Structures are given as C-alpha cells and as structure tokens.
Structure 1
Amino acid sequence: MLQNLKVIPFGGVRENGKNMYAVEVEDEIYILDCGLMYPENELLGIDVVIPDFAYLQENIDRVVGIFLTHGHADAIGGLPYFLSANQVPVFGSKMTIELAKITVASEKKLRHFDDFHVIDEKTAIDFKNATVSFFKTTHSIPGSLGIDLKTEAGHIVYTGDFKFDQAAKPEYQTDFGRLADIGRDHTLMLLSDSSNAESPYANSNEHDISSYIQETFKYHPGRIIVASVASNIERIQQIFNAAALTKRRVVLTGQDLEKIVKTAMALDYLKLPKPDLLATTKELHDLAPEQTIVLETGKMGEPIKSLEKMATNRHRLLHIKEGDLVFITTTPSHAMETTVAKMRDMIYRADGTVKAISDDLHSSGHANKTNLQLMINLLQPDYLMPIQGEYRLLEAHAHIAEETGMATDHIFITKMGDVLKYDKGQFHLGAAVPAGDTMIDGSGVGDIGNIVLRDRRLLADDGIFIAVVTIDRRKKKIVAKPKLTSRGFVYVKANRDLMSESSDIVVKAIENNLAHKEFDWNDLKQDVREDLSKYLFDQTKRHPVILPVIMEVNQNRHR
C-alpha cells in the first residue's frame, strides 16, 4: 500500500518560466525539469532567477534523477546551478541532452560531468517505486516530451510545454494514442501547461506560418532583420527555407545562436536547403540588401535588447537604416508588450519598419483553451495542477478544466513550496516546504537578497550621498572639514545651501559622539546617517543611500 506520495512545485507556478517540480514516491524523489527565469525590470542588475534548491539538497540522497521535457531555458537553465552542488543523473531526449550539455559546460566545476542519459518516447525506466516513461509532444523545438510517472496509485503526468498541431511535421507530432492509453490506465494527477490559457483563438499551424514568412521575404525589396528565439528550431528552419526560396543568404548573430544551430544541424533536426545559405558576419556588408537576412536572437536568446541597440547605433555588427525591415517571428509574452512597443518606436525613428507574425497570425508554442480541454479529455485525470503561468493564467486553466466536468476541489492552484499530499485516496494540501527565488548576479549565486535589491532601488530612485570626515579621536576633534559628494541625488553646485547645512549636521553628530566617554564607531556612523537622512528628506522628500566614511588620522585607515 502506497504510504507516501507528494507533488511539490519549486517554480513555474504564478510566474512565467523557472519550471521545476518534484514528485515524491515513498523514499524516492523525481525532479521534473530544472529551469530558470529571466528577471522582471524591478530586479535591478539580476541576470537570471532560479529555484531555491534547499529542500532538495537536504534530501539529495533520495533524488533518483532529473527528467527534462525540452531544451528551452525555462526547463534546463537551472541545471548548472543545481548540479554544481548535487550531481545526479539527467534524462532527456537527444536534442534536449545536447542543449543541456552546452548549458552545463558554462560552469567550470561541471566540465567533466557526464551523467547524461538519452531517452525517447519508447523508453520506460523502472525505479523502485515508480516507472518513468515519456510521450511525444508538439512544441517549437524537436525532442519535446511529456513525462509519465506510473505509481501504485495511478499515473502522475507532466505535459511540459505543448500545443496540438494536426499539420505538424513527424519530428514535432504529438502521440495521441499514447495519451489515450495513459488515460485509460488511470491518470491520478495532471500537471499541465497554462502559458496560453487565456487565448480563445486557435493557434495557426506551422504550414501557414511558413508560407507567411516566405511571402514576407519575397515582397520586401531590402534587408530583413529577423528577430527570433534561438532555441525555436522550427522557426529557424522556416527562415532558412524561405531565405533559400527567395535567393537570400542568412547571417547569424551571437554565439548562443550559432551553438544551437550547429547542435541541431549535427542531430539532423535542422537542414540547410542549399550549401552556401549561411554567410559570415564578415560578409554582411558585402551582401546586397535584397540578398540579406540577418537572424538576430540577442544575448541568451532574447532579441529585443539587441534590436534596441541596432536602432540606436549601439550594436556591434549593424545599425538599422532606411529600407530595413525588422521582422519579429516570436510572440512576446503579455508582460513584454510595453517593452516591445518602445522597441518598435525606436526602429521607426531609425527609418526602419516593423512587421510581426503576431499582428496577423496566432502563433504560439503553447496550448490554447481547446488544446487544454483536449489534453484533459484524453488523460481523464482525477486531479489537475495548472502550471507554467502567472496566477490569472492558472485561474483561467482551472475554469477551462471545470467546463470539462472536473470538480473544483480537484483542481489545485498552488504556489512555490506547496505540498500536495496523497492520503486515503485523495490529494490535499499539506505542510509547505522552503521554496522561493534564488537570484544570480554575475558569478554570485544567492548572495543578492531583498536588502541588496532595496539598496539598488534606492540608488536608482534617489541616488547616493557620501560624507567623508577625518577625526582625531585622542584629541576629540575633527581634523578636516567634511567632504560631501552626491551622485544621482542633487546637483551640488546648484544646492550650496543644502550641502553647507548637511556639512554642519555631520560635524554636530560627530562632535556629540566624540564628547562621550564611550566611543563606538558603529554608533557614530549611525548617528551621522540618521541625522542626515532626516534633514535631506525634509528638504527634498527623497531618501538617498547615505554612506558616512570616517577616517582617523593616527591610524591612517578607513573605518
């Protein structure tokens, strides 16, 4: 009799990206995906966000492996950070594993890590308490798989990112028969993609998108800069095909894109329609505009910032000029709409024009309402956990499921760290485990917390105010008049009275401290900081970061 069965989201719920889920079956833990998320604007200076691995690290001896659905950053981007401390087996399709190897190789500690295992839709792995198998799904990258954990209580099914496309090519086709088989054998819980749950529109099939790209290439007389996501292999193939048919050559920008293209070509998932299709960046300026396609993905696969640089003459390779068409072949998330609108404006200011697939077609790699209901009807799950999406998307998915007849109390809209525990034939919410965001800034992992982010916001909003003073503690006097510096707070020359009064406040705070018998450096700095902060806020209604620097002449060192 099954005693312990839990499902725990460590990311991917109430947010876009950072997919990571754990299924505990007795004394074994199965990790489903290990992704990252690109930060929102308020996370100043943060490069990426990954899940908090604390609970899994505490129980690492129970982890049997990480099972990957596909090769996008939201599914594999967290691997280097997890595997650095916890080297466990990693399972995925041929394409997914090759991209995972590229991702992991970026971490020096993992250069010799080789515990990768290539699986496919025919693979079934028997562990002590569950059997893990896989099924083909349709997404924008080949080798996308859903994951099925067969337990004593029933199947736990994780869709990964998916959509249904009846016109999909063989390497992208969904295995409908396999889904129906799982449904007939009793699906206990379904973890299903919610990214496109609000869309009532049918997704355009890839055949129509391919024709649309070809027409765009055919009828534009000048240079075309195509913005795409580096790991959308299907879209890149369509771009290659359209370029060949319209007698154009393609210039790839960025190392990320080149690595992914080379990997896909080596695995025969990406084919060049003609041998000389690709041109080097050195050849870019020798090509006639009507022969040129520039494929731009930007750093880490994000094209928007690169396009902004092109429009403002800051890009290392090219600048947008009159006659250029920027063709956006990726559908940005709702959260990026304002950023994309600003980027479009910049391009028009640079005399370019903009066209986006999303203006005319409903292009998405994720399931819409009809797809989500079909998945539920095929698998017939007892319980549903909507995943991969902000709260409103999870809520929309829940309503979609209710329309199919699922009971409201069998649908769980979770947050990170929630534990869904199976007990006496039912799932219920148990005691939560530690979970949250770990922020990556440069080489720092998790060393940027809320206090550091608060200081960065203050610096960005109100600037910094520095007071440098030299004292002689033995003689209990100030040796040199305070030197005040402001950056991003006020213009010093235009605020002489403010600076003069601030200097007097610093002197008074220090003299009060020097007069005391017991002298404490921390108390001295805190008094200077508090007195200055009060005065500056009264005068400006701003809160700059105040940094007192107190030096002592005899010891010649900073305090």
Structure 2
Amino acid sequence: MSKIKVVALGGVRENGKNMYAIEVDDQIFVADFGLKYPDNELLGIDVVIPDLTYLEENADKIAGIFLTHGHADAIGALPYFVSEHPVPVFGSELTIAMAKLNMTASPKAKKFRDFHVITEKSVIDFGKIKVSFFPTTHSIPGSLGIVIETPNGSIVYTGDFKFDQSASPKYHTDLSRLAKIGDRKVLALLSDSNNAESPYRSASEHEIYDHITETFRYHEGRVIVASVANNIQRIQQVINAAAANNRRVVLTGREVERVVKTAIRLKDIVLPDEGIIATTKELKTMKPEETVVLETGRMGEPLKSLQRMATNKHRLVHIHEGDLVYITTTISHAMETMAARTRDMIYRAGGEVKAISEDIHASGHANKDDLQLMINLLRPRFVIPVEGEYRLLEAHAEIAKDAGIPAENVIIPNVGDIISYEKGKMHISGHVDAGNTMIDGIGVGDIGNIVLRDRKMLAEDGIFIAVVTIDRKKKKIVAKPKIQSRGFVYMKTSRDLLNESGELVAKTVQKQLDNKSFDWSTLKQAVRDDLSRFLFDHTKRRPVILPVIMEVNQNSAKRQ
C-alpha cells in the first residue's frame, strides 16, 4: 500500500494557475505549472503564479513536471522554478516548444535544457510508478491527459479537454484509450471544470470555421480579429477562412509571430499558400476588403490592444469607419466590464464589433455531458474537480454525483489542501503554504498586500508630501514646511487647504520636538496621523501621506 497525497497548489477556486502535486511515497509528480493574469485590483502586476515554497522545499523528491498543453495556464510559471531547480520537464512536441518560447525572457531559465518530448504512446517508468498519457481535444495541438499508475490504482489528470467527434486528427480524443485506462482501475480523477456550468453543446470546430468564413465573406471592409496567441486552432481557422475569401493575414505582435512561426515549423499550422501571411509593411498598401488583421495583444490579451487601436495609440492599426472587430475568444466573467468599455470605444472610433460567442457556444472546455462521459469512461473511485472558480467546482461535483459517484467520494479542495489516500478513503488531511506570488517586472514575490493597498490608494486618492527641515538640538523648525500634492488636489486652486496643512505640520513637528523623548518614527507617524484626519475632514479622501523630515545643525553650518 503506497502513501498517496494530492496537493492543489493552484487552479482550484480560481481561473488559471493550474498546478497539482501528486505525491506517491517519496516521489512527487507535478501536473502542469501555470500562471494566471491579474484582476483589475492587482495594480501594476504582470502575472500571478502559485506559491512555489512547497515544491522548493521538496525539490529533491520531484520526479518530473508533466505539462498537458501549451497555454499559459499550464506552462507559464516554469521559468520561475526550473532556473533554480532543474527538474525534468515532459510534454508533447508543441507543448515543449511553447515552454521554450516562454523561457526566453528569463536569462537563467533559457539555459534550462532538461526537456523531454513525449507522445500519447509514451510510458515513463519510475520504478513502482509509471506515467502514461492520452490525447485530448483542446484548442491547441498536442494536448495530453496524464495517467500516474500507482499500486493502488491510477491518478488521472485530464488537463483542458472537451469531446468533439468531428475534430481533425491533430485534435482527436482516443475514446478507446480512455476506456482501457478505466478498465485498469482509476483511483482518482482530477478533471477540468472550466465549463461545468454550461448545459449547452459546444459548437464543433467545423461550425466555428464556417462562422469565421461567413463573417469574412459578408463584411466588405477590413476585419480585425481578436484572439489568444496560443489558440493554434483558432489561428489556423482564421488563416484558412482568409484564404477562402481572397484575404491576407497580418500578424501585429511579436508574441503571435513567434507562436505562428513555431507552429508552422512543427507543421501544427499549415498555410494554404505561402503568400497568405502579409508583413506589417504591406498593411498600408493593402485594400480593406483584402485584409485580415490578427491581434492577440501583449501576453495574449487582445482587449487592451483593441482599446489602443480605437484611440489611435496602437503602433500599427487605427480603427476607423468600415472596420469590423471580430472577437473570436470567449471573454471571462472578470473581464466583462473591460469588454463592454472596449466595445464602446470601438464604436466611437467608427468601427463595428462582432463576437463569435453571440451566435454560437464556442469553448475549448468540457460541458456537463462531456464531464459525465469522461467519468463513465474512466469509472474513477474518487473525483476531485479542479481548474475553475468555486461555483464551477461545485457544479462539477453535482455532475459527478449524478453520474453515480458517492457524495463522500467527491472532494472540492482549496488551494494548499492535502488530499490523502488512507485506509481505502480519500480525505483532506492537512494544508501546505500556498497562495499567490505576484510578478511585477523582474520582481518575484516582492509585492505584498501592503504594496497593493498603497498602489490602490495612490490610484484612488493620490499622494500628499510634507517636507520639513528641523534643528533637533535647538528644538526648532528651520524651514517652513513645504507641501506637494500629486493626484490629490489641484494645487493652484487649493492654496488655502495647502497653507492650513503646512501650519498643521509645523504644529505637530514642534510638539514632537518639545517632547523630551524624541523619536524619528514617532515624529513621522504623528505627522501622518494628524494630516490624515485633517485632509479627510476637509475632502473625505485619504491620500498616501509621505512626511520628509530633514535635519540640519545651524551652528555647524555657520562654522563651515
């Protein structure tokens, strides 16, 4: 009987950041190593990755990192770990290629070489444990589910998947392989929950292609397609639809260019003819009815790029009358407000907006029927819903119960929960330190709640600076306090407020100088407290207050 633990280090009760550590005896198998993009409240944060403390402390136990597909939510956090802990990384050919592209921004990580390309037929022997794979249908080729075969049964992680009977060979799911895995006893199933709330049948990729083709055919002007850079299937459909309508495709960003070139090299994107991809220099001379602009935006986020196009701030494309902005990606709930604002800006610029989700239900994730089919094929003893916010995990749990899984065998974990298999049962047995590590530029984890709170205050109420020069020995103020404000009030029209603030600062500082037990930190805090109360009473706002206290010795200055 092996000791089995499943630790969700990310990807549960949240959107993205998938990372699951499956521990069997003294070996750890890590499934996916993803990141997520920040919510609007995380001001200035580029990306968010899981807290890697648990893996760093147990790096010597890690047998390997196994990647299901090449999207950022599965591979994005790799550079922040393998640069210091070079453990082997396994994935399909395209997944490994995407992971290598992801490493290029980090000088340390791009030196990492321990990559291993596997296929759905690969079996990796780790002694008592074997790891095998099965092909899944997703929006990128080379997507694989992971099977960790233990003496107690298999732990299966699906990664992102759906079932599409009309999928092309590169995206085909092997149902017979899934049935065989189920025949060999599946102990626990960790399954994609991203689309668990949806009762609707997802449109097949053929239907989506027909929708794109018709959109290109019936619009007479230029079409600007907004997509995600790593959605290889959608990019292929856009290219094919452009060729069918005598249009050429212009790639506007470095990221999508790198992704497309890599996919072409691996033959995961096939060009209908060599001239279908136009250069950005050719864009100026191309006729609108012959043009498709493919915009993915920085880090695959197209909405901000569309806003720059609508306000004439984009380096290549400005939206004008006759343009159609065609959104082929599904907007997450967290981005709906931003999407509505983007639509308004596009219409103001004279363009039109059409979203593929308005006409058909397009998703790369399993709906209710798909999830039940996966459960019925694998017949797991325990189901652990992963990959999704809490309401989606709860919906998936209900689906599992409807499919015949006992309620006590369905476990919804929180980030950091340890799910142990002991005495024939799985249960939450403990917790490890886990959560978010925020990346800001080259800073990793140096942004905490206090910094984010200050950024929020700066964004909402601005900053208020009070500069005072004192002679501590003579216990007097040498120079009258100077007040500066940025983002709080307009200084030219608020002179009375600033003058009164200066007088208050002078009184507070002098009071502290007269105190026998003088302390620098107490002085600065007193200035902050008194100014904060005063400014809130007069403005009902709380700016960040920065007292700057400078000390001089007048006698020394005179001698010099």
Q: Distance in 1 between matches of 2:455 and 2:331?
A: 27
State the one-letter code of the partner of 2:352. Answer: T
538-547 or 228-237, which deviates more: 538-547
513-522 or 197-206, which deviates more: 513-522
Q: 2:313 aligned with 1:314, yes or no?
A: yes
Q: 2:33 aligned with 1:42, yes or no?
A: no
Q: Distance in 2 between matches of 1:253 and 1:382?
A: 48
Is the CA contact 1:28–1:129 (under 8 Å) kept in the aligned structure 2? no
Is the CA contact 1:196–1:368 (under 8 Å) kept in the aligned structure 2? yes
TM-score, normalised to structure 2, is 0.98
State the one-letter code of the partner of 2:341. Answer: K
Q: Distance in 1 between matches of 2:410 and 2:479?
A: 69
Which deviations, in whole Å up to 9, do the C-alpha atoms of 1:182-239 show, x marking residues without a partner? 1111111000000011111101101111111111111111111011111111111111
In structure 1, the gaps of 5 or more residues are none
Deviation, 1:110, is 2.2
Q: Distance in 1 between matches of 2:157 and 2:261?
A: 29
Q: Distance in 1 between matches of 2:82 and 2:99?
A: 11
Is the CA contact 2:92–2:119 (under 8 Å) kept in the aligned structure 1? yes
Match of 2:193? 194
Deviation, 1:335, is 2.0
Q: Distance in 2 between matches of 1:99 and 1:436?
A: 25
Is the CA contact 1:69–1:144 (under 8 Å) kept in the aligned structure 2? yes
177-186 or 158-167, which deviates more: 177-186
State the one-letter code of the partner of 1:52. Answer: D
Match of 1:210? 209
Q: What is the DSSP-based 3-state SS (H/G/I as helix, E as strand, rest coil) of the residue aligned with 2:512?
A: helix
Match of 1:367? 366
State the one-letter code of the partner of 1:547. Answer: L
Which deviations, in whole Å up to 9, do the C-alpha atoms of 1:17-73 show, x marking residues without a partner? 000000000000000000000000000110000000001111111011100000000
Match of 2:479? 480
Q: 2:166 aligned with 1:167, yes or no?
A: yes
Match of 1:288? 287
Is the CA contact 1:383–1:411 (under 8 Å) kept in the aligned structure 2? yes
Match of 2:394? 395
Match of 1:525? 524
Which deviations, in whole Å up to 9, do the C-alpha atoms of 1:271-317 show, x marking residues without a partner? 11011111100110100111111011010111111011101111110
State the one-letter code of the partner of 1:312. Answer: T
Match of 2:449? 450
Is the CA contact 2:13–2:414 (under 8 Å) kept in the aligned structure 1? yes
Q: What is the DSSP-based 3-state SS (H/G/I as helix, E as strand, rest coil) of the residue aligned with 2:230?
A: coil
Is the CA contact 2:461–2:541 (under 8 Å) kept in the aligned structure 1? yes
Match of 2:123? 124
264-273 or 331-340, which deviates more: 331-340
State the one-letter code of the partner of 1:84. Answer: S
Is the CA contact 2:136–2:174 (under 8 Å) kept in the aligned structure 1? yes
Is the CA contact 1:243–1:250 (under 8 Å) kept in the aligned structure 2? yes
State the one-letter code of the partner of 1:368. Answer: N
State the one-letter code of the partner of 1:113. Answer: F
What are the equivalent positions in structure 2 for 1:310-349 lying under 5 Å apart?
Answer: 310-349=309-348
Is the CA contact 1:308–1:346 (under 8 Å) kept in the aligned structure 2? yes
Match of 1:84? 83
Q: What is the DSSP-based 3-state SS (H/G/I as helix, E as strand, rest coil) of the residue aligned with 1:74?
A: helix
Q: Percent identity?
A: 65
State the one-letter code of the partner of 1:419. Answer: I
Q: Distance in 2 between matches of 1:15 and 1:172?
A: 26
Match of 1:105? 104
Alpha-carbon distance change, 410 to 481 in structure 1, aligned in 2, over 3 angstroms: same
Match of 2:93? 94
State the one-letter code of the partner of 2:273. Answer: K
What are the equivalent positions in structure 2 for 1:247-286 lying under 5 Å apart?
Answer: 247-286=246-285
Deviation, 1:122, is 0.3
Deviation, 1:160, is 0.2
Match of 1:228? 227
Match of 1:9? 8
Q: What is the DSSP-based 3-state SS (H/G/I as helix, E as strand, rest coil) of the residue aligned with 2:120?
A: coil
Q: Distance in 2 between matches of 1:508 and 1:98?
A: 65
496-505 or 85-94, which deviates more: 496-505
Match of 2:403? 404
Is the CA contact 2:192–2:366 (under 8 Å) kept in the aligned structure 1? yes
Which deviations, in whole Å up to 9, do the C-alpha atoms of 1:136-167 show, x marking residues without a partner? 00000000000000001101000000000000
In structure 2, the gaps of 5 or more residues are none
Match of 1:134? 133
Match of 1:299? 298
